[in-house]
Amino acid sequence: MTKTMLIGLDGATYTVLQPLLDGSCEEGVVMPYLASLIEGGYSGTLKSTNHPLTPPAWTTVCTGVTPGAHGVYDFVRFEDMGHDVYFTLYDARDMRVETFWETVSRHDKSVVSLNFPMMAPPPEVNGSLVPGFVSWKHLRRNMHPKSLFARIDKIDGFDPKELSWDFERESLIGEIMEDQDLYDWVENHLPRDRQWTNIAKHLLAEDSPDVFALMLDGVDKIQHQAWHFLDPKIWTKERAASASDIAKGVRRLVLQYFAEVDEYLRTLIETAGPDTRTIIVSDHGFTGAYKVVRINTYLGELGHLTWKEDDGSEAAKRRQMANFAYLDWDNTQAFCPTPSSNGIVIRQQSEKCPNGVPPSEYEAFREQLIADLLKLEDPQTGEKVIQAVLKREDAFPGVAMDQSPDLTLILSDHGFVSVRNRAPSVVERPVPMGTHHPDGIFIMHGPGVAQVSDKTLQIQDTTAIMAHSMGLDIPRNYEGKVPADLYTAAHIATHPITKGRPSVSRDTFGHGDDMDDTQKAEMLAQLKALGYLED
């Protein structure tokens, strides 16, 4: 029987969950089952990766190491050719270490892993794996084993179009939506997590894998668009009283979603049985972003980059409206490649980049750039808009550090930056946008788990905890640990924490840009829809 189950709730945050758990919101208790799990188990805040973004964070959960070791930093990676910069998408081949699912398989344990990003093309595992972030057209060929699709297709109610990301529908999302449009958009998203839960229930009951893992991403998607309906600081009793009927309808619908998630948890845990230990985590938390910070505009004002001239052609117009920095690369020394990266790349002088920063001046250039970034203010309020600038060696130490941005920005409101050529460099958003926050959730329940609350864990602890729960030695290269008070004294006395051989490093990693144009366009449309890339 399954002994360990991981349920990921992408973007789940206590800011939204707590009123739904304790009944302090106007609607009362919305998630009673999750509340009971917290009351009877171990819970706390889960600190995300230094840049709390979906790909690096979930890849940390799936590998046990942080981005400096696993090598995934963003949705998009780039190659600097000097005169131009080429962008493509990260995938599973960019990981420098094996996944936990592969580690489990090497120990003759069985696994079911569903909907985790960066898992395509899927690794070979002892069990079943369906990656996330794949459109329905490409779902069949991205499953392991190849026969899995035919098996899932027989499940009553299965609809691959509902299961996978509908890129065409997602591309309609804008930063601001009218309430009716938002209502329709949320309503169209509810079937997706229903599909995943239905498949999960069947595979869990039929296969009883040693470890079962499912990630539900509706929390993240809905919070991005409907944050102003969920944040207790925004959706107050006063606002609820004066809201229009359709606005109240949106609020009811998003709470219906969270109520359904509560039932999904109940269904899966009851299917797994009372001997299963369940771990519920999010890759990051959430908060509201109130400002647009056009970081490349500011770098241009500082003289560190030059924009590509618009020759009036259709190609130039498309490039200017693309999702990546559109710059004169021969005259650019520092730039932010994508909104989702929140990173600044410093181009050092080389044969292919003769106008880059001389290596002997790199440290002085970087220190001055940090000082200038921390000076950036909102011209209307005088408030600082960047709270911290992290150097790569501090944010992402490890063998893959050189692939990370030289600097990573933490905005004062935790928002994502803009890379567009628009002025001014800082403006107020007309409506707060849901954005990532480093504080996610950790909840564990089951045999031997202590009743403890208000703890603080690191996201990489999740993988070490899973390994120990399965009775495995924790690989020595894992960066997390099992909290000393996670289990009762009686349980830990008979289940000691032991270290073992490291997980396997990959001899080769990275890949050519072999994704077909249609699939790439769909992927980029989804990223733009969720706000990671720009409209």
Q: What is the pLDDT of residue 189?
A: 85
Residue 315 has pLDDT above 80, yes or no: no
pLDDT tens for residues 381-415? 999 999 999 999 999 999 999 999 999 999 999 99
Joined together, the tokens standing for residue 55 give 């790909």
C-alpha to C-alpha distance for 358 and 365, rounded to whole angstroms = 9
Q: What is the pLDDT of residue 171?
A: 44
The CA dihedral of 457, 128, 144, 478, to the nearest 10 degrees, is 30
What is the band of 509 on the pLDDT scale with cuts at 50, 70, 90?
Answer: low
Give the pLDDT mean for 310-328.
Answer: 72
Residue 320 has pLDDT above 80, yes or no: no
Q: What angle do CA 438, 443, 448 make, to 5 degrees?
A: 145
With beta carbons less than 8 A apart as the criterion, state whether 123 and 92 touch: yes
Give the SS3 label for residue 180. Answer: helix
For 2, 6, 63, 303, 445, the CA distances from 469, given in Å and listed in that order, are 11, 11, 16, 53, 11
What is the band of 163 on the pLDDT scale with cuts at 50, 70, 90?
Answer: confident
C-alpha to C-alpha distance for 220 and 227, rounded to whole angstroms = 10
Q: What is the pLDDT of residue 173?
A: 43
